[in-house]
Chains A and B, each alone.
Chain A
Amino acid sequence: MYQYTEFDRQFVHQRAAQYRDQLERNLAGTLGEDEFRPLRLQNGWYVQRHAPMLRIAVPYGEISSKQVRALARIAREYDRGYAHFTTRQNCQFNWIPLDRSADVMDLLADVDMHGIQTSGNCIRNITSDGHAGIAPDEAVDPRPYAELLRQWSTLHPEFAFLPRKFKIAITGAAEDRAAIAWHDIGLQLKKNAAGEIGFKVLVGGGMGRTPIVGTEVRDFLPWQQILVFIEAVVRVYNRYGRRDNMYKARIKILVKAEGQKFIDAVNAEFKNILEHDVDGTAHLLPQAEFDRVAKGFALPAGVTEHVAATTQHFDAPIAFARWLERNVHAHQLAGYRAVTLSLKRAGQAPGDATADQLDAAAAIADRFSHGELRVTHDQNLLLPWVHESDLQALWKAARDASFATPNIGLLTDMIACPGGDFCALANARSIPIAEEITQRFAEIDELYDIGDIDLHISGCINSCGHHHSGHIGILGVDKDGKEWYQVSLGGSDGSTISGNSVAGKVIGPSFAADEVADVIEALIDTYRDQRDPRELFIDTVRRVGLEPFKASANNVRRSTALVQAG
């Protein structure tokens, strides 16, 4: 993975020192709350229900065992013993007192980490494919480009106070594991007929109140031009994006309102930068700079392609076979596998890990994956460099540390935001809903019978739990101070099994909290009744339409049945 240079290292320490100055002015009363708020947000500090929440950047999901141990230490010494991984590959804490926040930033800087631009109306942490650099279906490794974008976007002086937040996702694989069409800018690396590398560029995707899939503005942008092109996009957005209504301030609204005029404006701005600006070509990427950054993504020492001795696990328990099937993934290099450590199990919120589990994950990564891990978009950890011959030993270690639930891609591998238990924005809680569904579908044979399915839960319309893109989406809403849940069907994150990115459709009035698990069960039962052989849940929804699902969901209404009847 990328190794910080002396410049990178000094930079995060300087940022920590700047933050400490701001915090001290705030605590001394010379920096008011209104001024401090945007500053702390751009360092990852929200003020939440119980305490500040800290969001730490894990750029494009790559993290080392040393960094995971630092997170464990922060969980133990500053928080209440656990951390939460998010769909944007970040890591969150919920209980750190604000007056200790600058100390935590120093600790993070010591292990090359920070919270820069993990919140606020700026260019956020760049996300990518959790399998970047190891996926067999990859045309181009996106990590060097993601790192170049990270550096370019970090403390950009012109784009720190945009109309609204700005998210960039990048992939280089055939399978979209980064949901790029749902981002403000989605980048797909590809090779043209001549073998040259470039980007398909999508602009204006996003969830929230108005889910919109990104519009293609370039089919093939030569890679050297990517920083300049994004500068053009963001400048047009900064100048003309709406600021009168925060719900209409994302770039998706501008792209939708202006259509081709927006694309023309971006292309004109791009041309102007290159032809007219002082040193306007200085941000065209030279090969030497690409090579310098790409060196950081060389194979870890000792990783070499090899033909693994065929290992038959005749005496292995069925749980191991299931784990091989669900949690072990193909790799670019012969002899290697990628392995998911599942953070989805009963008794813990999706994406949560305790300090001890973090330490265990770090130890497992040291033993089996050259000290490297990934945080995935679906809120799990992934080991990128596992020797095929180590799989059984890894399975035992993962099982002992509670990471071996063989449920990757299945119903209980759901995406969920922290919801109303922690988040001050949330209208309703996500975690109890996730827990009830996890318990309801604890039977592993049943999960296998249901097969691949994306269940996404958001506690409010901000959509951190990506409910729009779930095959089943659950959205918490607030009416009369009570928690209600809207259920939608047929959404797609753009993966192969889900089809083209699209928002799901709501299946009727909101359900009461105590009805939701029954509704999910009813939807699953309907699928099992109606499915053709080998059909996944999403296929059946597309084929038979919403009506049979609506009917079965309405059948399990109790308190909301009365409301409907009335």
Chain B
Amino acid sequence: MQFIDSNLDPWQAAGSDDAPDAPVQPEANLLLDLDQWRSLRADWPAGLPVGLKLANNADIEDIAADLPRFAVIALHFPKWIDGRAYSQAHLLRARYRFAGEVRATGDVVVDMLPLLQRSGFDAVVLRGDQSIDAAKRALGFFPSYYQGDVRVTRPHFGRVAA
């Protein structure tokens, strides 16, 4: 699990706060929202790294064809107890074999870490007041689980039997 320091993060949201509606020009390591991506996808140069920010009510099915073009997909937790993005991450990894980075943004707290890791996230931007040490400890309580997940796809019974 990668803990992202926003100050050192090469990925930056497109558009500026001063002019949110100004047209976005393609450049490396931009994180686009879905509307921005849709307006640029035809002209986005092949090989120029691009990331996508998705709201948690977006259907992964709708962007399935574009997935190979993204280096990063940022899934958002408006509140940490809103669990929709876990299903988005599962679909990205298990169904569409998305191999880029899947990062969690928004209200991300340390006790979510085991869930995030198991459902396909490999990077997190923790909420500002959260402790990386506590987050790392949260990942250590369970060596294995009953059901399979994105990381260990077979359930406990499938692994024991194998």
Please report A residues at the B interface, Cβ cutoff 8 Å.
7, 11, 14-15, 17-18, 21-22, 25, 30-31, 35, 38-39, 121, 151-162, 227, 235, 238-239, 243, 272, 276-280, 282-283, 286, 288-289, 292
Contact = CB atoms under 8 A, between A and B. Distances in A.
Interface string B140-157: 011111111110011111
Contacts of A280: 94
Nearest to B116: A157
Contacts of A153: 147
A279 B83 contact: no
Given A35-B80, A151-B146, A243-B82, A282 B158 contact: yes
A289 B95 contact: no
B38 interface: no
A155 B142 contact: yes
A558 B76 CA distance: 57
Interface in B105-138: 109, 111, 114-115, 117-119, 131, 134, 137-138
Nearest to B160: A7
A288 to B, nearest CB: 6
17 contacts: A21-B141, A22-B111, A30-B131, A39-B111, A151-B146, A157-B114, A157-B118, A157-B149, A227-B147, A235-B90, A277-B95, A278-B153, A279-B148, A282-B154, A282-B155, A283-B148, A289-B157
Given A17-B141, A277-B94, A292-B157, A156 B84 contact: no
B155 A152 contact: yes
Interface residues of B, number: 40
B142 A18 contact: yes
A152 B154 contact: no
Given A22-B111, A35-B109, 11 more contacts: A7-B144, A15-B141, A30-B134, A152-B155, A156-B147, A157-B86, A159-B83, A161-B86, A278-B150, A286-B158, A289-B161
A274 to B, nearest CB: 11
Contacts of B69: none
A288 B157 CA distance: 9
A277 B87 CA distance: 13
A483 B150 CA distance: 50
Given A21-B141, A151-B146, A157-B149, A162 B161 contact: no
Contacts of B141: 14-15, 17-18, 21
Nearest to A239: B87
A157 B115 contact: yes
B46 to A, nearest CB: 27
Prevailing SS type, chain A contact patch: helix
Contacts of A276: 95
Contact of B81 (A18, A38, A157): A38
Most buried by A among B80, B143, B147, B161: B147
A235 B87 contact: yes
Contacts of B86: 157-161, 238
B59 to A, nearest CB: 8
A12 to B, nearest CB: 11
Interface string B70-96: 000000000011111011001001110
Contacts of A289: 157, 161
B41 interface: no
Given A21-B137, A278-B97, A283 B81 contact: no
Contacts of B87: 158, 235, 238-239
A373 to B, nearest CB: 25
A516 to B, nearest CB: 38
Contacts of B144: 7
A258 to B, nearest CB: 15
Given A14-B141, A25-B134, A152-B155, A278 B147 contact: no
Contacts of A25: 134
Contacts of B119: 157-158
B76 to A, nearest CB: 14
A279 B148 CA distance: 9
The 3 A-B residue pairs with the shortest CB-CB distance in the complex, in nearest-first order: A161-B83, A157-B118, A279-B153
Contacts of A283: 147-148, 155
B142 A35 contact: no
Given A158-B90, A161-B81, A277-B95, A151 B148 contact: no
Contact of B83 (A15, A18, A21, A238): A238
A288 B95 contact: no
A232 B87 CA distance: 11
A243 B93 CA distance: 25
A152 B146 contact: yes
A155 B83 contact: no
Given A157-B86, A158-B87, A151 B109 contact: no
